[in-house]
Amino acid sequence: MEDCIFCKIVRGEIPAEKVYEDDNFIGILDANPKVEGHTLIIPKKHFKTLLDMPNSLGNEMTEGVKKISLKLIEDGKAEGFNLVANNFEVAGQIVPHVHFHIIPRKKGDGLKILA
Ligand code: AMP
Ligand code: ZN
């Protein structure tokens, strides 16, 4: 997708803080983090929502989520985490290229994830 911001990041045309990469996914720090370490996991291929992404990528995506989350915990940036995916505009999806938010949580952080 020519104009998609996440496709541009995958192609290296605009900068991002990449914290993870495997064959089919990248992990980048969110440009407007809810907390330090707020990470997005993004497939390298363009799919609009989770409904468009083939199931065959599911295991690899889960593996990426687990590696990123475990590192956040090991680095002391998280004690737990929320995994959030906004699908379709009505659910708050702003970037129409499927992605999951990994949001680090700590005791007493007061974050309201869906508010
Ligand atoms: P949503 O589609 O609602 O999941 O929101 C898109 C998320 O992508 C927001 O949290 C933005 O802060 C984040 N975002 C948008 N553009 C960039 C970018 N160029 N680099 C990193 N994160 C971005
Ligand atoms: Zn895209």
**Long-range contact set of residues 13-19: C-beta below 8 Å, sequence gap at least 24:** 19/68, 19/71
CA–CA separation, 33 and 58 (whole Å): 25
Q: How many domains does the chain have?
A: 1
CATH code assigned at 32: 3.30.428.10
Tell me, yes or no, whether 38 lies in a domain. Answer: yes
In this structure, is residue 53 part of a structural domain?
yes
Task: For residue 103, give the nearest of 55, 33, 43, 53 by alpha carbon.
Answer: 33
Model confidence pLDDT, tens digit, residues 66-84: 999 999 999 999 999 999 9
> What local confidence, expressed as pLDDT, does residue 2 receive?
84
pTM of the model: 0.97
Residue nearest to atom 17 of ligand 1 (CA): 31
Index of the ligand 1 atom closest to the CA of residue 29:
21
Q: Is 38 a catalytic residue?
A: no
Give the range of the structural domain holding residue 52, as residue numbers without chain letter. 5-105
Q: Quick one: which atom of ligand 1 is closest to the CA of 86? A: 4
Evaluate whether residue 85 is within a structural domain: yes
Instruction: Outline where DSSP puts E strands in 17-75.
Output: 18-21, 25-29, 39-43
